[in-house]
Amino acid sequence: MPYLDYAASAPLRAEALAAMLPLLERPAANPSSQHRQGRAARAAVETAREQVAALVGAAPAEVVFTSGGTEADNLAVKGAVLARPPEGRHLVCSAVEHHAVLDAAAWAEAEAGARVDPAPVDRLGRVEPDRLAALLQPGRTALVAVMAANNEVGTGQPVAAVADLAHAAGALLLCDAVQAAGLPGVDMARDGIDLLALASHKLGGPTGVGALVVRAGTTLRPLLHGGGQERGLRSGTLPAAALVGFGAAAEAALADRQTNAAATLTTLRTRLLSGLQTLAPGLQVNGDPGAVVAGRGLEVGGAPAPTAAGLPGLLSVRFPGRRAEDLLLLLDRYGVACSAGSACASGAVTPSHVLVAMGRDPGEARETIRFSLGHGSTQADVDETVAAVGQALGVLAPQGAR
């Protein structure tokens, strides 16, 4: 049964399971305990911290473990706002951020006196740096939030260019790298990122753990209080076994990058798109998940800025005249797992805020399917998916041309 929903959650990697089993098969120890078992658990956690740090070009001491990407984004947004005086609580967030960022920003506006300005994107879903720059208020903007690559359409963002703009205004840059941390990858030092959100299960690790990587010297107000774990930024007993799985998944993801797994995923995505276009000639692709193209760039202050690589395994497509929910029901019946967009918003009745920000109307947004590939994907998965889509399209009559 083809699984093409890696953007929602990647299957557990064998490396992660193997790393976790020894800790799951013996009595659990608290990593904060001082006895032998506790010290062993602490050592395992610190190894995981090193593995996660290596994946994103950070120092191990900068990794703050959380319960996942949502908590990491919330700690970054709320922690940065609350650390600033009331007059310095201005936020700029790209219009296509994950709801973990947007809803945290809305909380800051309603409960902490912050002002939030959305940064527009172009028709591909890419932030326009010059328009973002016009929103910044030097001395007042606390945080700029621009994700590394969009979770719904795969478009990469000009993170380094945005970092320069944010820092010039005295603001921090939050980069949600939940999707992009593995492939194509991110580097905090290279790109000037101050706060970086990660989720284990998107890398093939266990669910329920993630991290906020906090650049040394960055001030945040903690949201959880208790035992003072994670340098006082995130109190709570650390789940050693899950974190060991997170670390192993991060190490495996880094190895994938070094073996050019992105090229393999791009080839599979191209094969998938070609097959779908044969079935539905009017198919429309959303976003720009492709790699950097030589000579292509964004104009930032009159100078070209490199276009960031997108997600090599993600394909967002619109089937004109076919409702996504109908296609998904049939594809599920035929054994194909995919989605209509962010799994975190699967219960929402409103159209994707990402597609609307890119210029799609609500009706067009409701005709979009997201296919996402990952470390276990094969050519057979792609071919079986194309065949299943063909069956589904044969059943569904178009609802009228747009």
Cβ pair 173, 162 in contact under 8 A: yes
- 374-385 burial, b at 16+ Cβ within 10 Å, e below that, comes to bbebeeebbebb
| Selected catalytic residue, list 93, 175, 338, 344 | 344
93 is catalytic: no
Residue 246 φ then ψ, to 5° = -60, -45
Cα gap 252→238, rounded to integer Å: 22
Sign, CA torsion 280/282/284/290:
positive
CA atoms within 13 A on the CB side of 87: 2
CA 179 to chain centroid: 3
Max Cα-Cα span within the chain = 69
Half-sphere exposure of residue 238, counting CA atoms within 13 Å on the CB side?
A: 31
The torsion angles phi and psi of 5, rounded to 5 degrees, stand at -135, 40
Q: Which residues are catalytic?
A: 344
